[in-house]
Structures are given as C-alpha cells and as structure tokens.
Amino acid sequence: DLLQKVSHGDPRYLGADQVIRMAVYNNRALAAHFFERPVGIIAPGAYADLILLDYFPTTPLTADNLPWHILFGVSGSHVHSTIVQGQVLMRARELVTVDEAAISAASRAAAAQTWERYWAMF
C-alpha cells in the first residue's frame, strides 16, 4: 500500500484509514500469532502494556489527521510513562524499577574495557 503512493504519484493516495489499519490493526493481528493473550487492545485478559505521551502538536490535531501525527509527530521523546503487564516501569520520565545510575556506571565501565581490548589489538 505504501508504494502505491509512489506509483500513483499522489501523496493523498494512501488515506488515514489505511495508515491506521496497517499500523495498528494489522500489527495487532500479526502479534496475536506470537502471544498467549490479546495485544494492542485495552480489555480484560489482555496484556496491560501502555505508554502515556506528553504530545503538544504544533499543528491542529483532529480525527482526520491523527494517523499522520502518530507517524510523523510523535517520537520516543514524548513518552512520559510506561506500564508493562500492569506494572509502572517509568513514571514522569523516571525509571522506577531499576537503578539507572548503577546501570549507567556499569555500562561506562564495560565500554572502557571493550575499548581497551579493541585498542590492544593494534
């Protein structure tokens, strides 16, 4: 479907309904083959995985252009909080289940050791 826009030479060829179908419903249907419980919906028995966004668009946000905001406006920097299997993992951009400073320190130490091993080869 995405290539149809190119082949028809018309950026309007792919409608918002098709974008939502491909990005949301088709992905949810595909994921359903790999998970034991429903995904991509908020319902009893489904995985309770959610992200909350701080998204303040610079252009009007309407039902008609929502898919385009999702595709081109929203990014990872807008994620405010995450909930995975009902457990809050990040609240107000702060990780609540891990020690971020300890992980960063361990990562820096591992990176230094990796570079030492790399440069020792030359």
pTM assigned to the model: 0.67
Is it the case that residue 3 has pLDDT exceeding 80?
Answer: no
Structure tokens at 41: 């919906």
Q: Which of 32-41, 56-65, 103-112 has the highest mean pLDDT?
A: 103-112
pLDDT tens, 54-79? 999 999 999 888 888 888 899 999 99
Residues forming a β-bridge with 82: 51, 90
Please give the helix or strand (H or E) that residue 94 lies within, else none: strand 94-95
Domains in the chain with CATH codes: 2-120 (2.30.40)
Is it the case that residue 20 has pLDDT exceeding 80?
Answer: no
pLDDT tens, 40-52? 888 898 988 999 9
Roughly how many angstroms between the first and final C-alpha of the chain, as a whole number? 50
- The string of DSSP codes covering 25-72 is IIHHHHHHTT-SS--SS-STTS---EEEE----SS---TTTHHHHHHH
Round to whole Å and give the CA distance between 82 and 95.
9
